[in-house]
Amino acid sequence: MYEDAKNTASSLSLSLGTANGDISVMSSMINANFDSGHYLHIALVDVENKLLYERKNESNLRQIPQWFVDNVRLSAPIAHANVSSEWNQFGMLSVQSDVAYAYRSLYIILINLLISFSIITVVALGILYAVLVVLLKPLRKAQTQAAAVLRNKFIIQDNIPYIKEFKDVVLGMNSMVHKAKAMFEKGNEELKKHKELEYIDPETKLKNRKYLILIMRLLRLSLVRQIHIWNFPKK
């Protein structure tokens, strides 16, 4: 802010020097600069420090939160420049920038940064979530495999991930499913053979006495149910 005030004071003092001491012309120049910029105070005094002309503005910080003003300390030093007319010093020009403009500019920058950071954070979290979903998909399939084994269903993952750790998990799970399937099929075969040995005569390969007794019991049970239906018909 001081550099801006200093540059304005230097350029405006040169312009005022061309007015040849005409206060009305000087006041017009000061007004033009004051209205086109962001200044708190511009004053012109003569060599005896007598005020010739000035413009003032009230610094308005009402739109800026107080916490921001308290945490960001800004000051607006006064810049001075000599006003000369035909090699004679005419007076002194003082320029002070409006600190409220700097506060507003910094606050807007802060808000824009926060908005940008929030958008970037949301987008980054979305991308991270999508990446995690893709990366953890083999693990979810492995969980499905384990649950299916409990229901005597054997699922093999064909899509092997490229990441070594996940690849090892998937291959290990596939191997376990293969072994579980083999054990299940072997158990079924043994159970089938056991039933065949229980009801089939090993020499004649015909149904044995135990099988005939089972059939007789089933027929008897069926006959009893049929008699019960005949004696107690549905109304």
What Å distances lie between residue 32 and 12, 28, 35, 53, 217, CA to CA?
Answer: 10, 6, 5, 13, 118
Across 185-211, average pLDDT: 68
**56-70, 86-100, 192-206, 211-225: least confidently modelled range:** 192-206
Per-residue pLDDT tens digits for 125-162: 999 998 888 877 777 787 787 788 777 787 787 777 77
In sequence order, which residues have a C-beta less than 8 Å from that of residue 149 and are 6 or more positions away?
A: 176, 177, 180
How open is the CA angle 81-104-30, to the nearest 5 degrees? 30
In sequence order, which residues have a C-beta less than 8 Å from that of residue 49 and are 6 or more positions away?
A: 92
Using DSSP's 3-state secondary structure scheme, residue 85 falls into strand
Band of pLDDT at residue 222, cut at 50, 70 and 90: confident
Residue-by-residue DSSP string for 116-185: HHHHHHHHHHHHHHHHHHHHHHHHHHHHHHHHHHHTT---------SSHHHHHHHHHHHHHHHHHHHHHH
**Residue % of the chain over a pLDDT of 70:** 86
Band of pLDDT at residue 182, cut at 50, 70 and 90: confident
Name the one residue in this structure whose structure tokens are 């490229």: 162
CATH architecture group of domain 2-97:
2-Layer Sandwich (3.30)
Domain extent listing, the chain = 2-97, 100-198, 200-235
Across 42-55, average pLDDT: 88
> Do residues 88 and 47 make contact, with C-beta atoms less than 8 angstroms apart?
no
Q: How many CB atoms within 10 Å of residue 40?
A: 21
**89-103, 115-129, 143-157, 199-213: least confidently modelled range:** 199-213
For 91, counting Cβ atoms within 10 Å of its Cβ (0-12 exposed, 13-18 middle, 19+ buried), the class is: buried
pTM as predicted? 0.54
